Structure 1
Amino acid sequence: MRIGMVCPYSFDVPGGVQFHVRDLAEVFLDQGHEVSVLAPADDDEPLPPYLVSCGRAVPVRYNGSVARLTFGPVTSARVGRWLEHGRFDVLHLHEPVTPSVSLMALWAAEQPVVATFHTSTTRSRAMHAAQPLLRPSLEKIHARIAVSEDAAQTVRSHLGGDTYIIPNGVHVERFARAGRVPAWQGTPAAPTLAFLGRVDERRKGLAVALAAMPRVLDAHPGARLLVAGPGDASETLRHADPRASAATELLGPVSDGDKESLLASVDAYLAPHLGGESFGIVLVEAMAAGAPVLASDLPPFLRVLDDGRAGATFPVGSADGLADAVLDVLGDGSVRERLRAAGRARAPLFDWTGVSGQVMAVYETVRAGADAAPPERARLWGRLVRGGAGTGAER
């Protein structure tokens, strides 16, 4: 099958949607399908062979974070050429209402379209603002996928219609067989805790983890908090207890291999997120690596953790709740081993083998229904947009 995927966020900046698109594309390539991914990217950066850049992105604040998006006539021209050249059997758009390349590809599309929604928010300004722009193209979306029930509820609230729920995928075996790094391994006298995420985004909860550390250090003076992820944490550390700051090691952005080894090495993984999450892919990664997961009780996290059976949870934003969970895990080996075993048992539910099969089933369903010609209004809209793409906007 010839598959075209569109990612709205810059492919050369780490992010959950980018990783999802990358992994799904590579899984399908390994299965023998032809896959091309269109996404914003710096043309000077080394890019995977299946990626086509639609231009450099600009940072925009979105959903409590900073997304790197691209929009405009140059992007439109590149979208049109990519679609014409690709002759895709199915077009898979991620976050199609985000004002970036996915939305432009939806406007221009004439082939069967599958759309995946990753965002969970009760009030999506992007979806609300995009409705007038989307109305002529909504009928082109043959199937909608949401990565969680929370993301599906967002879609139903703003766009209506039925939605398949297919979770994010993880290469479970890679995490399960990851080697441990002695520098990151804990000991009974000096246990290690891990935090992964963009360190200067408040919603990721680094400040909560730091606020929990003094109580942890009272019981385990040698404990260390290993923080991995992009961003500047200096402001957060400056406001933290000096003992917590001293016990924190900033690892910066880490490679996929280092992330796997980090999660396999530590005594517990901390996920003190405050909101804005639709799934919790790193929770699954930690479970697959054998790290006990201690997470705030956000509804998406509770679903991933099987209502707390595969990980310990605590009230959102509660440093004391997190400290209690950490002390429970570090102080009782049976608790630690129970969470490890439960996490490892649950992680395979999210393995890419099963997840990619569910996505392919949606593709095949959409293709089977594509014999019915799309409404003339949808075809005309796509041709108008493509006509604009071929006006030499880049010259």
Structure 2
Amino acid sequence: MARTRWSRPSRSPRPPKSRPRPESLAPLSIVQFTPFPFSERGGINEYTRRVSEELARRGHSVLIAAPSGGRGGVAETKSALAGLRDDPDALFAPGEEPRVLSMGGGVKIPRSGRRQAPVSVDMGNRIEALLGSGRFDIVHVHDPFVPGFSSNALRHSFSLNVGTFHETEERPFATQFARPLLEIFFGRLDARTASSRTSARLLNRYFPGSYEITHPGIDPVEPAQSEVPPLKIAFSEREEPGALRLFLRALRRLPPDLEWTATVYADEPGAVQLRVARQIRDRIKVIGPDQASLSELLSHSNVFVAASNGPRPDQAAVRQAIASGAVPVTTTIGRYVELVGDGQRGLLFPAGDPVTLAGQIQRLGEDGRLRERLRSACGKFEIETWPEVADRFESTYERLVARRHDPAGNEALRKKLRDRPLIDVDLHMHTDHSSDCATPVKVLIETARDRGFGAIAITDHNEVSGAREAAKVAEEMDDFKIIVAEEVKTGEQGEVIGLFLKEKIPKGLTMDETIAEIKRQGGLVYVPHPFDRLHSVPDYENLLDMVEDIDLMEVFNPRVAISSFNEEAERFARKYNIIPAAGSDSHVAQGLGAVRNRLHDFDGPEEFLEAMREAEITRRHKNLVYVQALKFIQTTGRPKAAKREVEAPRAVKGGRRKARGPKQGRGSKRAAGKS
């Protein structure tokens, strides 16, 4: 069928005015991940493109990372990533246009009715090279549901992560089978947004959290509809293919005496095949971006039809239609009903029903008053422009960045401390004042000094008596100090350590109350094993709530059974500039030395905190099973009377040590038997 050329209207849309960046927000480096090849037009890619362009116009450095539809662009991306270490800023294109990086190919998994997002095959290494340096302030992932590409982005990111969810239909594999894995990746999101309330409701059902609604924006236009027949009908081909077929079937059912024309907007007009009856063929046109924008088309249309049954709804087009004065006729899927209401701003028809669709178009063609009433209601519906959508994201970014700690600290004090000797410190250990430890205070101090430590923090569970006893012993030593501390069990939000305490903090308080008490005593807030699900730990949202109050985070704990828990802690500390620290979490003397914080000698919490900014964490392998077995033997497998008799590990030839139990030889056993 021949395509007739559509004339560009005389009135052009008002270009959206770019807003200046808030003075309080420094230029940010941002990378946006979209799960679809950027050569493909569609709702998510259009959303990503418009937000990225607006942010770039405001002075932010913006990249768009996407799978590649073919091999094109991959070689250029490889070359750019190869030079990342030498010149990180070379990644960003000069000017206001965001640079698009083609990260590689993937395998498309067929999904009925849906556009297929490629599952990553060879993109992982390039994503790791891009994100591993932590070069970006913000990593913004669109549709984190998509396996491979989006999950790789969250896996390798050391930056602040924002996720925007566009999905409106449940994916059984994601919400049921892969849910535990997705919860890990979603747990790395520092902010969650959804492009519709329907998406937010779906996500909250399976992944509860706070989702800010960030609808797609529109281009402001002056409605230029003519009420003179014929009725002008518009349709966007960005929905799934079945939607266009249903639209054409409905047009065939319109009465012959109704005057109408229809225009199909397509990103690639030449690829659209219209199979329609000869008698209506001349009434239908196909146009593309070279002839007009979608907003221009809608400003001159009386009716806009959205016929998606769910897989690929074009919410942005419906919003643009409402803003442009074209009355929407949509299916009853949640995302569309959210916009048109229950007939307040448009008409509805059941998904897959061409008969009802034809009837609704006919009603609008024959009833001018109905058309005008709906147009008037559309004019009262507030819809944000793309600059306003970018405002929302900029506000989200600003809020996240403001929560990062200032890495500068007190340089003058650190300069003073650099003249002092280096000492080794363990920040997490227990004595027999903890219910699950049998190591006497003196044994712990002897072992620590024997192994070269200059200071230790005694962090008994819900108790400071052991630390106080140790502090009195250490007063007689010139080369050793004790940090009085407590590992406090909060009511429902896990454990937290207070360093440099003066008195005991009761267990069972809320996290906020516990932190307030630590601060009242002039202490420091130290979060131990924050992501170890085998311990009592605050969840990710609790950590986000308290992030400004955290002074140090334990990024290495040798008693953590799964190494990825330590890696998660390191990732969190790095993204929020929290000072990293480490502790052996030793419950037996043999566990000392598994980890050391090497820092300049200090006096008090302020000097300690500044010294820790430049501390070096060293790790030494300890057999976890062996150490845990000793803990069991000393705390569970021994009589109570024997637990207090634990001695320091004895040095043996070769530098290794073994534990000595109570002094009881064969003779003593025989003597006991005789008695």
Report the TM-score, using the length of structure 1 for normalisation.
0.80
- Secondary structure class of the residue paired with 2:391: helix
Q: CA deviation at 1:254?
A: 3.6
Q: Distance in 1 between matches of 2:350 and 2:62?
A: 42
1:354 to 369, 381, 388: 388
1:364 — aligned with what?
A: 398
- 1:179-198 to 2 correspondence within 5 Å? 188=229, 190-198=230-238
Q: Distance in 1 between matches of 2:216 and 2:367?
A: 32
* 2:36 alignment partner AA: Y
Q: Distance in 2 between matches of 1:108 and 1:256?
A: 42
Task: Tell me: CA distance 1:136–1:210, structure 2 relative to 1, closer, same or farther (3 Å).
Answer: closer
Q: CA deviation at 1:139?
A: 2.4
Q: Distance in 2 between matches of 1:170 and 1:350?
A: 7
Task: Tell me: CA distance 1:233–1:286, structure 2 relative to 1, closer, same or farther (3 Å).
Answer: same
1:153 to 201, 220, 226: 201
Q: Distance in 1 between matches of 2:302 and 2:60?
A: 40
Asked if the contact 2:132–2:157 (Cα under 8 Å) also holds between the matched residues in 1, the reply is: no
1:336 to 346, 363, 371: 371
1:303 to 322, 331, 338: 338
Q: CA deviation at 1:303?
A: 1.2
Asked if the contact 1:210–1:245 (Cα under 8 Å) also holds between the matched residues in 2, the reply is: no
Structure 1 residue runs without a partner (length 5+): 385-395
The answer to whether 1:131 aligns with 2:318 is no
1:248 to 275, 284, 296: 284
The answer to whether 1:212 aligns with 2:250 is yes
Task: Tell me: CA distance 1:350–1:130, structure 2 relative to 1, closer, same or farther (3 Å).
Answer: farther
Q: Which has the higher contact order (CA 8 A, sep 6+)?
A: 1
- Secondary structure class of the residue paired with 2:115: strand
1:55 — aligned with what?
A: 104
In the TM superposition, what whole-angstrom CA distance separates every residue of 1:189-229 from its partner, at most 9, and x where no partner exists? x3331111247622xx2233223224424231x52322233
The answer to whether 1:20 aligns with 2:47 is yes
Q: CA deviation at 1:20?
A: 0.5
1:282 — aligned with what?
A: 317
Q: Distance in 1 between matches of 2:377 and 2:553?
A: 47
Q: Distance in 1 between matches of 2:233 and 2:173?
A: 36
Q: CA deviation at 1:249?
A: 3.2
2:67 — aligned with what?
A: 40
1:118 to 166, 190, 207: 166
Q: CA deviation at 1:32?
A: 1.9
Asked if the contact 1:91–1:114 (Cα under 8 Å) also holds between the matched residues in 2, the reply is: yes
Q: Distance in 2 between matches of 1:279 and 1:152?
A: 17
In the TM superposition, what whole-angstrom CA distance separates every residue of 1:252-290 from its partner, at most 9, and x where no partner exists? x54594322222222211112222356711101112222
- 1:49-128 to 2 correspondence within 5 Å? 49-56=98-105, 58-62=107-111, 64-73=113-122, 75-84=123-132, 87-128=135-176
1:390 — aligned with what?
A: none
Structure 2 residue runs without a partner (length 5+): 1-27, 77-92, 406-546, 556-563, 572-675
Q: CA deviation at 1:150?
A: 1.4
Asked if the contact 1:70–1:101 (Cα under 8 Å) also holds between the matched residues in 2, the reply is: yes
Q: Distance in 1 between matches of 2:281 and 2:569?
A: 54
Aligned residues: 367
2:307 to 272, 285, 288: 272
Quick check: 209-218 or 106-115, which moved more?
209-218
Q: Distance in 1 between matches of 2:71 and 2:569?
A: 27
Bigger helix share: 1
Q: Distance in 1 between matches of 2:107 and 2:240?
A: 18
Q: Distance in 1 between matches of 2:115 and 2:312?
A: 14
Q: Distance in 2 between matches of 1:247 and 1:110?
A: 55
- Secondary structure class of the residue paired with 1:32: coil
Task: Tell me: CA distance 1:307–1:279, structure 2 relative to 1, closer, same or farther (3 Å).
Answer: farther
Q: CA deviation at 1:71?
A: 0.9
**Which of structures 1 and 2 has the bigger CA Rg?**
2
* 1:267 alignment partner AA: N
Q: Percent identity over the alignment?
A: 24
Asked if the contact 1:211–1:244 (Cα under 8 Å) also holds between the matched residues in 2, the reply is: no
- Secondary structure class of the residue paired with 1:114: strand
Asked if the contact 2:31–2:62 (Cα under 8 Å) also holds between the matched residues in 1, the reply is: yes
- Secondary structure class of the residue paired with 2:155: helix
In the TM superposition, what whole-angstrom CA distance separates every residue of 1:106-149 from its partner, at most 9, and x where no partner exists? 01111111111100113442444443433443321112111112
Asked if the contact 1:11–1:39 (Cα under 8 Å) also holds between the matched residues in 2, the reply is: yes
Q: Distance in 1 between matches of 2:566 and 2:395?
A: 25
Q: Distance in 1 between matches of 2:211 and 2:133?
A: 30
- Secondary structure class of the residue paired with 1:140: coil
Q: Distance in 1 between matches of 2:400 and 2:313?
A: 25
Q: Distance in 1 between matches of 2:54 and 2:329?
A: 30
Asked if the contact 1:4–1:88 (Cα under 8 Å) also holds between the matched residues in 2, the reply is: yes
1:225 — aligned with what?
A: 262
Q: How large is the RMSD of aligned CA atoms in angstroms?
A: 3.3
Task: Tell me: CA distance 1:71–1:156, structure 2 relative to 1, closer, same or farther (3 Å).
Answer: same
Q: Distance in 1 between matches of 2:553 and 2:368?
A: 60
Q: CA deviation at 1:327?
A: 1.9
Task: Tell me: CA distance 1:145–1:374, structure 2 relative to 1, closer, same or farther (3 Å).
Answer: farther
- Secondary structure class of the residue paired with 1:366: helix
Which consecutive segments of 4 or more residues in structure 1 shift more than 6 A?
Answer: none
In the TM superposition, what whole-angstrom CA distance separates every residue of 1:131-189 from its partner, at most 9, and x where no partner exists? 34334433211121111121112212332333222212223x2xx14889xxxx8951x
* 1:367 alignment partner AA: V
* 2:264 alignment partner AA: V
In the TM superposition, what whole-angstrom CA distance separates every residue of 1:33-77 from its partner, at most 9, and x where no partner exists? 22112112356479954222212455443462222425124x112
2:356 — aligned with what?
A: 321
